[in-house]
Chains A and B, each alone.
Chain A
């Protein structure tokens, strides 16, 4: 007959271990230790990559930063370290992100309100909207660029020109507004998802109390739900802005210019862009060793700008939260 051996974790004989030592949760196991270590190393490695990229840029870019650099409009040959500057790129990137925000926030927030406050989770239309949002989030950024060219410029812009300007090319060419709209379509899912999350976090009791006091559904949403959700909407805005500020592919065909002598002043102007400038400097430079300091400084400005926008938004969010708390 087979003898049944006791599992390892049971003491062989009660007398041999008067203490409960055998019942430690983990016996030392080499392979467990080894593989746990590996996953820890993977984590460390990823953090190492992040730190290397950031440190490399800060260390090499710091010396190139000066007031002159960020406040100068460069001459046509912007590869010269003494006369170059990035003012038009900072202005261009900021403008396109601001115009984008004006379009994407209302649409994103209203969609999120529909999904959480009005829609039933099981209806087909809700499921299609959700699937569309998920899909929009996964469309490659270059396809958004093609879409901007095919839809905004070649379709809407050209037709606007026919109606308004007697077919002179005003809107039917790459422009700030088309780049911003393309980015707005791209960041729509970011705003929707973040807003929806914050709407869901509001206790249903608040809505029920409001409705019970005689407020209509619309009043409840406008006066009770939205103010509570404001920090979440801000977060959505921040995420959308920081995503859009660094994107280059969608604006390649929809509005960015290699060089412009003046700052953009109209929505139908083209603009220079920090991210695109990084691309130009690193791939089209006649002498990469001479361009290197400008390049690092420009990359640093791009990173600082995305972080600065983030910090401003985080500060606003903190104030909103404080206010809400004061209201009780």
Chain B
């Protein structure tokens, strides 16, 4: 009685504990699966196994045996799995099709050097290139047409442009409101203000996008008189609405967790409430506020629907009054048209993996800073 006898005495307990443990691993499993499967679809781009060159040197079907499987997979644009399942006759048929395709290419492309370029090489993905009929090297994202251009720099610039406008707008407002709610407002007012501001996060982003598209865009244009009605400025402000609740709740939490002794000491020495908030509480909570901004950044670069509805054109421009196309928007808008398994599809998944990595890093940094900050306040460091 009462002696611990391991799992043999209570098999049900033991089983239940193991079951609960394994279910709780699902969060880890999901993060791994997300990374694995988004990256898996993008792998051929990373390993240079995709080829978009329009004019290729055809391999006659008779030469099937002269080439290695890897070469043939790249040439026929098939996966090793598909390759393994195919008989030699099937492969010859595919190669015949390929030769016919090469014969069908319009003559004007035969002399075009662009048609011989594999545009999915890293060189063309990130460096500017002088395409035929252009005066200077340019960054171009243009995934449709005979010669597809996949330069991702305009998308990255577009993402940063919209995100930075959003953060410039959201961070001061959200941090200001957090200071007011946590330090200056009376407790009864605070009880109302906090949930009210957090209600903003309950508005679906598609509704914020709709509001920006129909109402804000018109109002802002009549105030600022810029040319393009839908631009990065409008999208950024709308994005700001979406990240304000995120930044607010984290910053408010950080400011509230500063020990009351700090505040009371400052007030006792004659500082005003504002001086206390600005010179004592805010510096003490600064890591938390910084983390709030970092996590807000992560949320902003991942936001899809708002930017998708407000901006669309991918122009390479740093002006916030031009249109901008973010990474998320590109994935959402073009995935339906991309052929499953084709180069466009692969590159969209590659952009997704890039986005995942960026938010992963910003989340890690944010969480780490908050963790350190809380430990410091608790005096563990």
Contact B302 A302 (CB under 8 A): no
Closest 7 CB pairs of A and B: A246-B204, A140-B302, A42-B176, A32-B274, A114-B24, A39-B180, A138-B363
Name the residue of chain A whose CB is nearest to the CB of B276: A32
Residues B27 and A245 in contact, CB atoms below 8 Å apart: no
Q: What are 12 residue pairs bridging A and B, where the CB atoms are less than 8 Å apart in the complex?
A: A32-B275, A39-B176, A46-B174, A53-B208, A137-B363, A140-B303, A143-B359, A151-B37, A188-B27, A189-B27, A218-B12, A279-B308
In the complex, B295 has a CB within 8 A of chain A:
yes
A142 with B272: CB separation less than 8 A: no
Q: Mark B269-280, 1 if CB is under 8 A from A, else 0.
A: 010111100100
The residue that B31 contacts in the complex, of A115, A135, A242, with Cβ under 8 A, is: A135
Residues on the B chain within 8 Å of A54, using CB: 203
Q: A136 near B: Cβ within 8 Å? A: yes
Residues of B near A303 (CB, < 8 A) are 203, 207
Known A32-B275, A36-B274, A253-B336: A279·B309 in contact at CB below 8 Å? yes
Contact B273 A246 (CB under 8 A): no
Question: Are B17 and A140 in contact, with the CB atoms below 8 A?
Answer: no
Contact of A252 (CB < 8 Å), options: B23, B278, B302, B332: B332
- CB of A50 to closest CB in B, whole Å: 5
Contacts of A276 in B (CB 8 A): 206
A81 at the interface (CB under 8 A from B): no
How many contacts between A and B, using CB within 8 angstroms? 257
- Within 8 Å of chain B (Cβ to Cβ): is A43? yes
CB nearest to B205 among chain A residues: A246
Chain A hits for B40, CB < 8 A: 150
Q: Which of A163-214 contact B (CB under 8 A)?
A: 185, 188-189, 192
Q: Which of A39, A128, A138, A217 contacts B28 (CB 8 A)?
A: A128
Q: Which residues of B contact A40 (CB under 8 A)?
A: 180, 184
Q: Is the CB of B28 within 8 A of A147?
A: no
**Interface residues of B, Cβ cutoff 8 Å to A:** 10, 12-13, 16-17, 19-21, 23-28, 30-31, 33-34, 37-38, 40-41, 172-174, 176-177, 179-181, 184-185, 193, 196-197, 199-200, 202-211, 213-215, 241, 244, 248, 267, 270, 272-275, 278, 295, 298-299, 301-305, 308-309, 328, 331-332, 335-336, 340, 348-349, 352, 355-356, 359-360, 362-364, 366-367
Q: Assess the A36–B184 pair: CB atoms within 8 A.
A: yes
**Bound CA–CA A261/B72 (angstroms):** 45
Using Cβ atoms and an 8 Å threshold, which residues of chain B touch A275?
204, 206, 305
Residues of A in contact (CB 8 Å), total 88
Cβ B23 vs Cβ A114 within 8 A: yes
* A42 / chain B contacts, CB cutoff of 8 Å: 172-174, 176-177, 180
Q: With A36-B180, A46-B177 in contact, is A114–B21 under 8 Å at CB?
A: yes
Shortest CB distance A196–B (Å): 11
- Residue pair B304, A132 in contact (C-beta under 8 Å): no
- With A and B bound together, what is the CA distance between A295 and B363 in angstroms? 36
- Is B200 a contact partner of A306 (Cβ separation < 8 A)? no
For residue A87, CB closer than 8 A to chain B, the reply is no
Q: In the complex, are the beta carbons of A150 and B37 less than 8 A apart?
A: yes
Known: A135-B364, A149-B335. 12 other contacts (CB 8 A): A29-B272, A46-B248, A53-B203, A151-B34, A188-B26, A188-B30, A218-B13, A248-B206, A253-B335, A279-B206, A288-B214, A302-B207
Please indicate the chain B residues that have their CB under 8 angstroms from the CB of A29 in the complex.
Answer: 272, 274-275
Q: A135-B360, A143-B38, A295-B210 are in contact. Are A32 and B304 (CB under 8 A)?
A: no
CB distance from A45 to the nearest CB of B (A): 6
Chain A residue at minimal CB-CB distance from B193? A43
Residues of A within 8 A of B30 (CB): 132, 136, 185, 188
- Cβ-defined contact, A216 with B13, below 8 A: yes
Chain A nearest Cβ from B298, distance in angstroms = 5
